[in-house]
């Protein structure tokens, strides 16, 4: 399912540089700097329909904060205040009458000078929204997906600025993802340049062994907002969580492995490199955390209402 096929609905709008424009008019010049060199930043945010019928955006402030941090890391000055971007996201959802879906803010460098130095080219902002079902499939959410350790390494931390979501960095993810799909798997797991497990192409990774949850520490991976939520939910359930290195073979002998991300939510992994993980299906801790996560995003978990921005 591509974004276009799900978003090209008459009457839909995209927010560009301060105003909502019709979907067809949200275009850029071919000399757009980001298109050539990849210096742009983005976010992925989800909005859910709550149990009471209202719509709520999950951890909007944290996502917008990370968008601005990504821009700062890349020496890009966003020409709007964070509060304006938060309001624009709500506006775009309302304009599209989208009760539940995915939100994609993109900060990019427009056309003007060519060459690596973007000079005074304008920094532009677009916000698109679209319905997005289960990123790794409905079946994957229940039965678990099959993953492969990629032949592509995650960039070194001094090459990929891991605190940012930078457009160009995703070439690395795309190489890994396509390799995995072509090889018949659903997702790629990338090792860092030392050979330790980093993350999947667009998700953080967790293992469960003897009831203890483990996830690679932050320096080498994106500080996932879902990762952070799952750590809090697990600790609240009395599950021990450690942020520590994971080796490839530790994946093979884990009782459970799962991924977290805005798009992927909480997705179980049932097989890595043709080794069955645990019982070869969604494990009990993964299942409990999955349902705790969905309770939060649909407003059923009153303790976590601070994470929701109602439209």
**Is residue 177 flagged as an active site residue?**
no
290 binds ligand PPE (CB under 6 A): no
Instruction: Tell me: does residue 222 bind ligand PPE (CB under 6 A).
Output: yes
Q: Which of 40, 105, 140, 202 binds ligand PPE (CB under 6 A)?
A: 202
Instruction: Give me the least distance between CB of 114 and ligand PPE, in Å please.
Output: 27
Q: Is 262 in the site for ligand PPE (CB under 6 A)?
A: yes
82 to 121: interface string for ligand PPE, x by CB under 6 A: ----------------------------------------
Q: What is the DSSP string of 183-245?
A: TT-SEEEEE-TTS-EEEESSSEEEEEETTEEEE--GGGS---HHHHHHHHHHHHTT--EEE--
Q: Which of 109, 225, 272, 277 binds ligand PPE (CB under 6 A)?
A: 225
Q: Decide: is 141 part of the binding site for ligand PPE (CB under 6 A).
A: no
The span of 180-188, 238-246, 254-262, 301-309 binding ligand PPE (CB under 6 A) equals: 254-262
> What is the SS3 assignment for 47-70?
EEECCCCCEEEECHHHHHHHHHHH
By CB under 6 A, name the one of 33, 124, 214, 227 that touches ligand PPE.
227
Per DSSP, the three-state class of 82 is: helix
Which of residues 12, 187, 199, 256 is near ligand PPE by CB under 6 A?
Answer: 199
165, 177, 237, 287: the active-site residue: 165
Contact flag: residue 226 with ligand PPE (CB under 6 A): yes
C-alpha 59/C-alpha 52 separation (Å) is: 18
* Contacts (CB under 6 A) with ligand PPE, residues 148-177: 173
Three-state DSSP class for residue 296: helix
End-to-end CA gap in the chain? 26
Contact flag: residue 203 with ligand PPE (CB under 6 A): yes
DSSP 3-state of 137? coil
User: Is position 224 an interface residue for ligand PPE (rule: CB under 6 A)?
Assistant: yes
Token pair in block for residue 4? 């276009």
Which of 118, 257 has the CB closer to ligand PPE? 257
List residues binding ligand PPE (CB under 6 A).
44, 173, 199, 202-204, 222, 224-227, 260-264
The residues carrying an active-site annotation are 165
């Amino acid at each position: 399912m591509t974004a276009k096929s799900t978003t090209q609905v008459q009457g839909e709008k995209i927010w560009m540089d301060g105003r909502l424009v019709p979907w067809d008019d949200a275009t850029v010049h071919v000399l757009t700097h980001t298109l050539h060199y990849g210096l742009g930043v983005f976010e992925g945010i989800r909005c859910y329909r709550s149990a009471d019928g209202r719509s709520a955006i999950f951890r909007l402030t944290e996502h917008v904060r990370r968008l601005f941090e990504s821009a700062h890391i890349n020496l890009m000055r966003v020409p709007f205040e964070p509060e304006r971007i938060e309001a624009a996201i709500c506006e775009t959802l309302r304009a599209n009458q989208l009760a539940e879906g995915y939100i994609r803010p993109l900060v990019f460098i427009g056309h003007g000078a060519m060459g690596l130095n973007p000079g005074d080219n304008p920094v532009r902002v677009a916000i698109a929204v679209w319905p997005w079902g289960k990123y790794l499939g409905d079946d994957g959410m229940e039965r678990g997906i099959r993953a492969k350790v990629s032949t592509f390494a995650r960039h070194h931390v001094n090459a990929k600025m891991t605190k940012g979501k930078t457009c160009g960095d995703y070439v690395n993810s795309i190489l890994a993802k396509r390799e995995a799909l072509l090889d018949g798997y659903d997702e790629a797991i990338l090792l860092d340049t030392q050979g330790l497990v980093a993350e999947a192409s667009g998700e953080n990774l967790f293992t469960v062994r003897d009831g203890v949850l483990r996830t690679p520490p932050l320096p080498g991976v994106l500080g996932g907002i879902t990762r952070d939520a799952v750590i809090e939910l697990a600790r609240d359930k009395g599950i021990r969580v450690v942020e520590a290195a994971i080796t490839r073979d530790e994946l093979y002998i884990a009782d459970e492995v799962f991924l977290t991300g805005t798009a992927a939510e909480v997705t179980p992994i049932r097989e890595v490199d043709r080794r069955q993980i645990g019982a070869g299906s969604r494990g009990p801790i993964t299942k409990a955390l999955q349902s705790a996560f969905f309770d939060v995003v649909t407003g059923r978990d009153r303790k976590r209402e601070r994470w929701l921005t109602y439209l």
